[in-house]
Amino acid sequence: MNPIIRFQNVTKRFGALTVLDNFNFEVQRGEKVTLIGPSGSGKSTVLRILMTLEPFQDGLLETDGISYHEPNGRGPFKASEKHLHKIRCNVGMVFQSFNLFPHMTVLRNVVEAPVAVLKMKREEAESRATELLRMVGLSDKKDHFPSQLSGGQQQRVAIARALAMRPRVLLFDEPTSALDPQLVGEVLGVIRDLASEHDLTMLLVTHEMRFAREVSDRVCFFDKGRIVEQGEPERFFSNPQQPRTREFLSSIL
Ligand code: ADP
Ligand code: MG
């Protein structure tokens, strides 16, 4: 079966800093994969490249059969708008810092992209948004503004907003790192429910190891732009093979 995500020899530099050096990585359709690793190792860069928020210098990226590539380092690749549009419709992303539109109500935050990007009828988008807000437990907040919500509530809106585009791939970049500890559980609960959706592909960066163990099909330890070690979570956490993986796990557990 073709993977839904395929990085092939992707090189990404910021000036003189090489963050990804011939990076190879595949995710299968419906797979739930967690990336863990030290700060600055390039995890967010991987997600941002997938979301087309970052260009890269060399290699090829394929997302749901749409490829995106840069032949041999002729500067940052600029894909056509049509091409980027297709990828962005297939991939959703939830950020550490929520990134809701502050001047829009919760409902409008969720309705806006399907109307503007997918050209969905507003009534249809609203009824779907209402359903999604119910799913994340926020039916009673739809007319509030983001600033009136707790961090956990804002993040749940951000998840509903990403789902409103019906993405095939959902990316989470440390979705609970900015939250007070007592608010982490409500966000993980929503992500856990999503992880039971067979067709949805999920790529999650997190420091919540117990959660990673529970929801992932595969855990990848990422360091200095490379996957050092990966495997099925039970094996990965109980018997890590590489010294760097062990060192990292003992530093955070
Ligand atoms: P992680 O998410 O694992 O903490 P990042 O992907 O954010 O790591 O960053 C990887 C490296 O790239 C870090 O050294 C970071 O400082 C650098 N970096 C990230 N974004 C930029 C940028 N826009 N400009 C320059 N350097 C960046
Ligand atoms: Mg990061």
Choosing from 19, 46, 48 the residue with most ligand 1 atoms within 8 A of its CB, the one to mutate for a pocket test is: 19
Q: Alpha-carbon distance 129 to 83, whole Å? A: 26
Residue 73, pLDDT score:
47
Residues with Cβ–ion distance below 5 A, ligand 2: 44
CB-CB neighbours of 243 under 10 Å: 10
206 CA → ligand 2 middle, Å = 9
Which residue spans within the chain are E strands per DSSP?
A: 5-14, 17-27, 32-36, 58-63, 66-70, 91-94, 169-173, 201-205, 218-223, 226-231
54 CA → ligand 1 middle, Å = 11
Residue 116, pLDDT score:
93
207 CA → ligand 2 middle, Å = 11
**Contact (Cβ atoms closer than 8 angstroms) between residue 92 and residue 170:** yes
Pick the more confident residue, 74 or 212: 212
Q: Alpha-carbon distance 206 to 212, whole Å? A: 7
The chain-wide mean pLDDT, for the chain, equals: 93
**Residue located nearest, by CA, to atom 15 of ligand 1:** 40
Quote the tokens at residue 145.
Answer: 């503004």
pTM over 0.80: yes
Ligand 1, pocket residues at CB < 6 Å: 14, 17, 19, 37, 39-45
| ipTM of the complex as predicted | 0.98
- The pLDDT tens digits of the residues spanning 77-119 come to 556 677 778 888 899 999 999 999 999 999 999 999 999 999 9
Which ligand 1 atom minimizes the distance to the CA of 37?
A: 3
Mean pLDDT computed over 33-49: 96
Distances (CA, A) of 203 to 126, 171, 200: 27, 5, 10
**Contact (Cβ atoms closer than 8 angstroms) between residue 24 and residue 38:** no
30 CA → ligand 2 middle, Å = 23
Residue of 34, 38, 50 whose CA lies nearest to 231? 34
